[in-house]
């Protein structure tokens, strides 16, 4: 039996430290599932593990791509599964750690199959978006798939501001003449491993304080300078990320620096709330307080291994 110990939870909760402890205990390697830590140009603002942490256990999918590459969640799913196959030739365990719920689901469950969309439809949707903005995509999805639009609005409203995702939803609706949601949950993807899901959580006040402290640490570490270096490419999809967007607004003269920093903290707190909403949908996840004695987590995993 092969096992994928999966650690989820909100940002700044301590997932990295736990994953390293587990990797050392089970003598295995770590797959990162943070969709912004993939990019080598983004270090401070994505809270990439320190060199000391990277040396403590072998990590994969950390700063392995460029912001200039078109890297999708489907690409990640294929590469992560290949890496797991490689791991399992010599080990019964691997660690998956991440705060990006869609990417965690990609590895654990896979994706639904969608029809091929004609290039001219994709081009037309993209052209209309460039002329009319994100509001065009939002109105189209609301008209073509009102149920899915409502689901996103409730569960993951940030998606409504993501042009890449929204264009995909709309082009599928137009190209197939069916709602995007009609293609979801149609196919069962088999996996050659058994997931053991561990969630880290804390009181909301604790999470928010940890986030505020982390943002201050990032600013002191040079996040503004990193944002300045990335500013010429601010329109890239990879840079539509909390921590960078707000500093780009400062560099555009729209925000003062103190206001931009407070916006980073506020938007990160909102992001953490959405992360918990996403992860707590999975009833198989066993949740622990972030400050719990780690031995209790090890005991739980060992119990699952005997089942």
Give the residue numbers of the binding site for ATP.
Answer: 9-16
CA distance 303 to 5: 13
Structure tokens, 104:
């965690």
Structure tokens, 294:
């780690």
CA distance 160 to 244: 19
Determine contact, residues 272/215, Cβ cutoff 8 Å.
no
Residue matched to tokens 């031995």: 295
Angle, nearest 10°, between helix axes 101-108 and 73-88?
A: 50
CA distance 69 to 294: 38
Residue matched to tokens 């053991």: 196
CA distance 259 to 246: 9
Determine contact, residues 13/291, Cβ cutoff 8 Å.
no
Q: What is the largest CA-CA distance in the chain?
A: 59
State residue 253 phi and psi, 5-degree precision.
Answer: 85, 10
* Among the listed residues 82, 80, 100, the one whose alpha carbon sits nearest the alpha carbon of residue 36: 100
Q: Which helix (H) or strand (E) holds 138?
A: helix 134-144
CA distance 272 to 125: 31
Angle, nearest 10°, between helix axes 134-144 and 119-132?
A: 120
CA distance 24 to 22: 5
Q: Which residues line the annotated binding site for substrate?
A: 11-16
Q: Which residues line the annotated binding site?
A: 9-16
């Amino acid at each position: 039996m092969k096992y994928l110990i999966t650690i989820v939870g909100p940002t700044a909760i301590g997932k990295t430290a736990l994953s390293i402890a587990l990797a050392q205990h089970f003598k295995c390697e770590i797959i990162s599932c943070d969709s912004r830590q993939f990019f080598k140009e983004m270090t401070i603002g994505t809270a990439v593990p320190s060199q000391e942490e990277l040396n403590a256990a072998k990590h994969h999918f950390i700063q392995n791509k460029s912001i200039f590459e078109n890297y999708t969640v489907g690409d990640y799913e294929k590469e992560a599964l290949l890496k797991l196959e490689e791991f399992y030739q010599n080990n019964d365990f691997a660690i998956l750690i991440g705060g990006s719920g869609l990417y965690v689901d990609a590895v654990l469950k896979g994706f639904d199959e969608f029809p091929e969309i004609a290039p001219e439809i994709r081009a037309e949707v993209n052209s209309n978006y460039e002329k009319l903005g994100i509001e065009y995509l939002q109105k189209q999805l609301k008209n073509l798939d009102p149920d899915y639009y409502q689901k996103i609005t409730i569960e993951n409203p940030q998606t409504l501001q993501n042009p890449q995702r929204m264009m995909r939803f709309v082009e599928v609706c137009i190209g197939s003449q069916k709602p995007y949601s009609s293609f979801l949950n149609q196919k069962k993807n088999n996996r050659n491993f058994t997931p053991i899901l561990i969630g880290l959580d804390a009181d909301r006040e604790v999470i928010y304080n940890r986030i505020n402290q982390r943002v201050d640490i990032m600013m002191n570490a040079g996040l503004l300078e990193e944002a300045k270096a990335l500013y010429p490419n601010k329109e890239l999809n990879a840079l539509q990320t909390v921590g960078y967007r707000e500093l780009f607004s400062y560099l555009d003269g729209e925000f003062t620096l103190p206001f931009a920093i407070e916006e980073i903290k506020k938007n990160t707190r909102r992001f953490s709330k959405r992360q918990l909403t996403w992860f707590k949908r999975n009833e198989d996840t066993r949740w622990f307080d972030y400050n719990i004695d780690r031995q209790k987590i090890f005991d739980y995993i060992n119990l699952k291994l005997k089942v």
